[in-house]
C-alpha cells in the first residue's frame, strides 16, 4: 500500500512488554516529520484547535544491520543466516536505524499534510510503500477514543490507480511500542489479520521459519503474528473505497459499499480532486452502535450511497446491516490482503467487488512497473465529538 497511517487505538490497552535486547543503530539519527492536526469541540467545525503532532515510519521499513557495522541483517525478503541463525541471536546481533524520510522513503509533510510516494529510488535501495503512525510526542503514539466522536480528513488520491491502497486506519498498538527502540522507531504494529510480515514481534526477531514471499522480493512472513483490534476508516484508490470495522463479534465482519456508480474520477465523489472524508462513530461508553460516512467536496456534503444490492437498505454500518450483508454475501472473514504493505483491494468473493479495478490488480511487480509515480496525500485531520468537525445539513 502506498500508505497506512495507522492513527491508533480504538481503546488504550495496558501492555506489558517482555525485555528486549533490540538495539538502535547510530548511522542515521531519527527525526520525526512534524504534522499538525485539529481537535474540535462545539459544532460544525467552527472551534478546532491545532495539535502539534509528528509521524513515524514503521520499524519494518527500516534498515536492520549487524551491530556496529554495515552488513545487512535482513535484505529483500530474507534474513542473514549468519547474523540471524535464531530469533534470540538475531535480536542481539542486529540494530535498527533512523530514517531519512524524504530521500529514502518518499515521505514528506506540510504543516498539516502527509504525502506518501509509492516508489522511491534512494541512494542505496528502492523503497516500496510505507506505513506511518501519528505520534503524541517523540516516544508515544497518539491514542484516540473513537466512540462518540468523528474523524475527518482530506485525501487526494488522484494519483493512486488500481492495485494500490492508500489506507488510513486505527489499530490498538501499545502506546510506547516495543523494546528499546519503542514507538520512536515505529515498533509494535498489529492488526486484525494478525500481521505476520513483521521482522520483529514483541521486541523479538521473527527470523526462525521466515518464508520469503513468492511474488514480492521485499516481503515475507514469519512464524509469529501480531493481532489486535482494527478499524479501517479508509482503504482506497481512485477507483474503489472500503470502510471496514474488524472488531465486530463473533468473527469480525467486513463491509464495503458498492460504489461503482458513485465513486471515481468525475463521479459524484470525484476522486480526481481532493475530498473530505468524515467518519462518525456513534454510540456511548464502549458500545458502538453505528458508523456513518459522509464526503464533503466543493462545499457540498454527500451522504454515503444506499447499497445497490437487492435486500440491502441503509447507508451506515450497524449490527443489523452487517448481519443482513453477511447473509447476502456469505462473507466469512476479512477479504483484503495487507500482506507486505502492498494491499490489494481485490475481492475474492461475490459482493465484495468495488468499482472497476481488475480483480487481479495488485500484483507487486505489475503495480511497481505500471505506477511508479503513484502517491497519496492526507491532510487537514480533525477529531472531536459528533458534529464538531464539519457542517452537516440538518436533513442528514
Ligand X SMILES: *[C@@H]1O[C@H](CO)[C@@H](O)[C@H](O)[C@H]1NC(C)=O
Per-residue cell: 332: 466469512
- Residue with C-alpha cell 468523528? 150
Cell matching residue 239 = 477507483
**How far is 332 from 324, CA to CA, in rounded Å?**
13
Residue 206 makes contact with ligand X by CB under 6 A:
yes
Tell me which residue has cell 520512536: 184
Contact 227, 344 (CB under 8 A): no
In sequence order, what are the residues at sequence separation of 6 or more whose Cβ sits closer than 8 angstroms to the Cβ of residue 81?
Answer: none
User: Which residue of 82, 313, 330, 356 would you call a contact of ligand X, by CB under 6 A?
Assistant: 82
Task: Name which position in 4, 80, 152, 280 contacts ligand X (CB under 6 A).
Answer: 80
**Residues 30 to 69 in contact with ligand X, rule: CB under 6 A:** 66
Q: How far is the CB of 166 from ligand X (least distance, A)?
A: 29
Tell the smallest beta-carbon distance from residue 78 to ligand X (Å).
9
Those residues whose C-beta lies under 8 Å from the C-beta of residue 320, and which sit 6 or more positions away, are none
- Give one DSSP letter per residue of 266-314, joined into a string: TSSEETTS-EEEEEEEEEETTEEEEEEEEEEETTEEEEPPPP-STT---
Decide if 235 is catalytic: yes
**CA–CA distance, 97 with 100 (Å, rounded to integer):** 10
Near ligand X by CB under 6 A: residue from 223, 265, 273, 349: 223
Question: In 3D, which of 184, 188, 190 has the Cα closest to residue 170?
Answer: 190
**In this structure, what are the phi and psi dihedrals at residue 137, rounded to the nearest 5 degrees?**
-150, -175
Whether 325 is catalytic: no
- Pick between residue 70 and residue 261 the one whose CB is nearest to ligand X: 70
Least distance (Å) between residue 4 CB and ligand X? 21
Grid coordinates given for 74: 535482513
Q: Taking CB under 6 A as the rule, does residue 71 contact ligand X?
A: yes
Stretch in the footprint of ligand X (CB under 6 A) among 20-28, 76-84, 353-361, 375-383 = 76-84
Which residue among 54, 95, 142, 230 is the active-site one?
A: 230
Please, which residue, 93 or 149, has the CB nearer to ligand X? 93
Contact status: 293 vs ligand X (CB under 6 A): no
The reply to whether 328 sits near ligand X by the rule CB under 6 A is no
Listed ranges 177-185, 198-206, 213-221, 248-256: which one lies at the site for ligand X (CB under 6 A)? 198-206
Supply the minimum distance, in Å, between the C-beta of residue 179 and ligand X: 11
C-alpha R_g of the chain: 20
Q: Check binding of 204 to ligand X (CB under 6 A).
A: yes
Which CB atom, from 94 or from 236, has the smaller least distance to ligand X? 94
Name the one range near ligand X by CB under 6 A: 153-161, 170-178, 221-229, 236-244: 221-229
Neighbours of 298 (CB within 10 A): 8
User: Considering the rule CB under 6 A, would residue 89 count as an interface residue with ligand X?
Assistant: no
CA neighbours closer than 13 Å in the CB half-sphere of residue 260: 11
Decide whether 2 or 195 has the Cβ nearer to ligand X. Answer: 195
Binding to ligand X by residue 27, rule CB under 6 A?
no
241 sits near ligand X (criterion: CB under 6 A): no
Pick the catalytic residue from 235, 325, 331, 368: 235
Q: Residue from 83, 143, 173, 239 that binds ligand X (CB under 6 A)?
A: 83
Q: Binding ligand X by CB under 6 A: which of 8, 131, 224, 382?
A: 224
**Matching residue, cell 510526542:** 137
Should residue 77 be labelled a site residue for ligand X when binding is judged by CB under 6 A? no
Residues 304/316, Cβ–Cβ less than 8 Å: yes
C-beta separation of 83 from 95 below 8 A: no
Residue 145, interface with ligand X (CB under 6 A)? no
Is residue 196 a contact residue for ligand X (CB under 6 A)? no
Q: Cα–Cα distance between 171 and 134 in angstroms, integer?
A: 11
Q: If you write DSSP's letter for every residue of 12-47 in order, what string do you get?
A: -----PPP---EE-SSS---PPEEEEEEEESSTT-E
Closer CB to ligand X, 222 or 384, in the complex: 222
Applying CB under 6 A, which residues contact ligand X? Answer: 66, 71-72, 80, 82-83, 87, 201, 204, 206, 208-209, 222-224
Q: Which residues are catalytic?
A: 230, 235
Amino acid at each position: 500500500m502506498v500508505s497506512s497511517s495507522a492513527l491508533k487505538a480504538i481503546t488504550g490497552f495496558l501492555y506489558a512488554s517482555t525485555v528486549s535486547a533490540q538495539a538502535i543503530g547510530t548511522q542515521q539519527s531519527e527525526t520525526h516529520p512534524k504534522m499538525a492536526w485539529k481537535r474540535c469541540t462545539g459544532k460544525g467545525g467552527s472551534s478546532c484547535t491545532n495539535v502539534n503532532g509528528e509521524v513515524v515510519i514503521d520499524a519494518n521499513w527500516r534498515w536492520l544491520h549487524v551491530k556496529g557495522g554495515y552488513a545487512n541483517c535482513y535484505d529483500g525478503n530474507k534474513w542473514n543466516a549468519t547474523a540471524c541463525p535464531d530469533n534470540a541471536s538475531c535480536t542481539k546481533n542486529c540494530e535498527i536505524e533512523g530514517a531519512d524520510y524524504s530521500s529514502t522513503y518518499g515521505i514528506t509533510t506540510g504543516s498539516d499534510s502527509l504525502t506518501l510516494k509509492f516508489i522511491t529510488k534512494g541512494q542505496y535501495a528502492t523503497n516500496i510503500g510505507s506505513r506511518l503512525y501519528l505520534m503524541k510526542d517523540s516516544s508515544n503514539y497518539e491514542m484516540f477514543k473513537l466512540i462518540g466522536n468523528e474523524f475527518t480528513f482530506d485525501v487526494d488520491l488522484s494519483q493512486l490507480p488500481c492495485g494500490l491502497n492508500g489506507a488510513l486506519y486505527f489499530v490498538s498498538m501499545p502506546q510506547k511500542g516495543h523494546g528499546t527502540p519503542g514507538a520512536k522507531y515505529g515498533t509494535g504494529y498489529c492488526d486484525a489479520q494478525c500481521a505476520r510480515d513483521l521482522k520483529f514481534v514483541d521486541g523479538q526477531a521473527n527470523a526462525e521459519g521466515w518464508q520469503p514471499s513468492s511474488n514480492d522480493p521485499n516481503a515475507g512472513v514469519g512464524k509469529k503474528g501480531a493481532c489486535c483490534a482494527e478499524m479501517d476508516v479508509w482503504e482506497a484508490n481512485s477507483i474503489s473505497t472500503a470502510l471496514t470495522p474488524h472488531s465486530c463479534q463473533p468473527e469480525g465482519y467486513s463491509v464495503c459499499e458498492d460504489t461503482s456508480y458513485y465513486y471515481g474520477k468525475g463521479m459524484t465523489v470525484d476522486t480526481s480532486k481532493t475530498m473530505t472524508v468524515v467518519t462518525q462513530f456513534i454510540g456511548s461508553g464502549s458500545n458502538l452502535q453505528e458508523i456513518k460516512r459522509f464526503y464533503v467536496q466543493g462545499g457540498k456534503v454527500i451522504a454515503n450511497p444506499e447499497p445497490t444490492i437487492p435486500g440491502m437498505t441503509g447507508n451506515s454500518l450497524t449490527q443489523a446491516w452487517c448481519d443482513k450483508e453477511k447473509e447476502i454475501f456469505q462473507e466469512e472473514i476479512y477479504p483484503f490482503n495487507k500482506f507486505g504493505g502492498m494491499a490489494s483491494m481485490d475481492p475474492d468473493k461475490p459482493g465484495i467487488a468495488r468499482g472497476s479495478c481488475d480483480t487481479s490488480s495488485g500484483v507487486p511487480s505489475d503495480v511497481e512497473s505500471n505506477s511508479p509515480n503513484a502517491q497519496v496525500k492526507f491532510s487537514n485531520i480533525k477529531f472531536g465529538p459528533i458534529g464538531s468537525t464539519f457542517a452537516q445539513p440538518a436533513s442528514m
